[in-house]
A and B are shown apart, each in its own frame.
Chain A
Amino acid sequence: MLSKRKNNKAWFLVLPVVLVVAFTAIIPLMTVANYSVQDVLSPANRLYVGLDFFRAIATDPAIIAAFQRNLIFSTQILLIEIPLGIFIARLMPREGWKAAAALVIVAIPLIIPWNVVGITWRILARPDVGLLGVTVNQFRPFDIGNTPADAWVTMVAMDVWHWTPLVTLLVYAGLRSIPQAYYQAAAIDAASPWSVFRFVELPKLRRVLMIALLLRFMDSFMIYAEPYILTGGGPGTSTEVMSILLSVLALIQFDLGKSAAFSLIYFLIIQVFSFIFFTVLTLDERPGATKKTKRTVIHKRDDAVDDVTSVEGGRS
């Protein structure tokens, strides 16, 4: 592989993106930061309060409890969705109308508006008239409205149902991009299915898995519409996640300063976690990392030969 070339003119290629995101992100964020340090009593009457709002947020027991729930929720759904997504993607048919049908069916949960997901599951989980509720009730009492554990499990199940397809699709796209030669080489070496997965597929899937992991972490940490409609944060506060608290503070109580401070802290937490994931997962892309097996090197060289022929073939 050739290394990347240093070229500062690449900034011109990046410029449109920078401008767009600056317009949609930096200006609004500055407003938020501005609100977070002052108490807006009226448009003309503002009081500078420094970090008081931040202190109030960071010591609020309701917010700390919601933060812990977010953390547990994200961990649980990642542990279920990533392996399950890979598992389903590897089972998916690859050719013909079956592959097409499978893709459409897998992807459908993703394109359902989030409030519809919440509405569907709310009815589905009703112990009196919902399929899920009635079914579970045959075996043990199930009441999403009064039993915190039931509400929690339903919320996790809903998220797994809703978002595992994202992991599946990304992994499927990644699997499709693995050249057949890799499988042929593995077959010649009489590699077991597990070795094929571990040494051929998994390394090639690293990038898509990183995307899946980060996306699922971020989105599960920001989850709002589905649990809000499913349980409204209840019973009690058992499914009250941070975004529900934030939206109450910002859009119902209209507490500008406190919600701005909360927003910034919230944002920062997600960034720190994502940064850790991102850094850990891209460790061996750093210069100096030499974690390459002999086999991949050989394959890379084969690839290069293929590339040359393919480009020449395409031109003639």
Chain B
Amino acid sequence: MTTTNIPVIQGPLRGSYFDWRSWLFWFIMAVWSIPLLWLVSMSLRFNEDILAKFEVIPSRISFRGYTDFFSDPVWVGSFINSISYTTINMVLSVAVALPAAYAFSRYTFSGDKHLFFWLLTNRMAPAAVFALPFFQMYQAVGLFDTTYAVALAHMLFNVPLAVWILEGFMSGVPKQLDEIAEIDGYKFGRFFVMIFIPMIRAGIGVTMFFTFMFSWVELLISKTLTGPRAMPLSVQMSTTSTAAGLDWALLSAAGVIAIVPGVIVIWFVRNYIAKGFALGRV
């Protein structure tokens, strides 16, 4: 797509004369990162210091939390488990949600409103409601304690979310686009893959981020559906926290490590969010 640079009359959100906005923003971000920096600082301190004295900057530093994490196959394995079910879930959720979101944004069909709301209701179900029946169901079909069980179970709340977000982005693309493509002789499949999906890549990026995120942080369902083989990182952490005497340094180190994949995903998605969709600005 070619960008003709219209001499832009700067919107109120752009331009250098609003410098105070940028200062205010970074100030807020600095305040916002305090809990996070606190977590990082905890992960670098000695266990006996963490609960014994108050200090903003650690007086002595230990990397024991991190070395313990990486030298223990249980911790590393749980990390890999989390990555795999989150990825499976993300790909499957977006794949099934794309055509559905298109249908909702473009057509009316019998029962569409009810179906859409029914989908959303699944996003509203407290995880505790499903914990027990999921346990029984996945045990019955032999998927218990596999990453697939968690990936499938998380689709409960991620698929409705994906449909919802994608539908919003798709509705922002004018329907004339579809009509013109049809007049130009594009088959639906080709139009969808070649024209429509690139058009809403911002939406897909945002959706992938959110499905990743909700699957990555969820605790109760992944805890219920896994045993020792497929145990995810967050569950491994909560088993540590129930043991007598918490290993705060290891726990915080695991917390810091648990943030890393998310940061990587955001880094990929940032372009999609940042570009927005090009329509109207071409």
Chain A interfacial positions (CB closer than 8 Å to B)? 1-2, 4-11, 13-14, 16-18, 20-21, 23-25, 27-29, 31-32, 88, 90-95, 98-100, 102-116, 119-121, 123-124, 126, 128-131, 134, 161, 169-170, 172-173, 175-177, 179-181, 183-184, 186-188, 193, 196-197, 207-208, 211, 214-215, 218, 222, 224-225, 229, 242-243, 246-247, 250-251, 256, 259, 263-264, 266-267, 270-271, 274-275, 278, 303-304, 306-311, 313-315
Contact (Cβ within 8 A) A108 B36: yes
Whether a CB of chain A sits under 8 angstroms from the CB of B58 is no
Q: A177-B202, A267-B125 are in contact. Are A304 and B174 (CB under 8 A)?
A: yes
- Which residues on the B side are within 8 Å of A32 (C-beta)? 129-130, 132-133
Grouping DSSP codes into helix (H, G, I), strand (E, B) and loop, the A interface class, with mixed when no group exceeds half, is helix
Counting from the closest, the 7 A-B pairs by CB-CB distance are: A111-B262, A179-B280, A183-B11, A176-B276, A28-B133, A13-B103, A116-B255
Whether a CB of chain A sits under 8 angstroms from the CB of B25 is yes
* CA distance in complex: A177, B172 (Å): 8
Beyond A6-B108, A187-B10, 17 extra complex contacts between A and B, CB < 8 Å: A8-B110, A10-B107, A31-B137, A93-B25, A105-B33, A110-B213, A111-B212, A111-B213, A114-B234, A129-B51, A176-B202, A176-B276, A183-B10, A207-B171, A215-B123, A306-B280, A313-B282
Grouping DSSP codes into helix (H, G, I), strand (E, B) and loop, the B interface class, with mixed when no group exceeds half, is helix
Give B220 Cβ to nearest chain A Cβ, in Å: 7
- Which residues on the B side are within 8 Å of A315 (C-beta)? 184
* CA distance in complex: A58, B135 (Å): 27
Give the contacting residue for A113; candidates B25, B234, B281; CB below 8 A: B234
Question: What are 18 pairs between A and B in contact, CB < 8 Å?
Answer: A4-B175, A10-B107, A13-B103, A14-B100, A18-B115, A21-B160, A23-B152, A25-B122, A25-B125, A27-B133, A113-B237, A115-B234, A115-B238, A161-B35, A184-B6, A267-B126, A306-B279, A311-B177
Interface residues of B in 52-68 (CB under 8 A from A): 52-54, 56
* CA distance in complex: A215, B158 (Å): 12
- Which residues on the A side are within 8 Å of B255 (C-beta)? 112-113, 116, 119-120
Contact (Cβ within 8 A) A99 B174: no
Contact (Cβ within 8 A) A21 B133: no
Whether a CB of chain A sits under 8 angstroms from the CB of B263 is yes
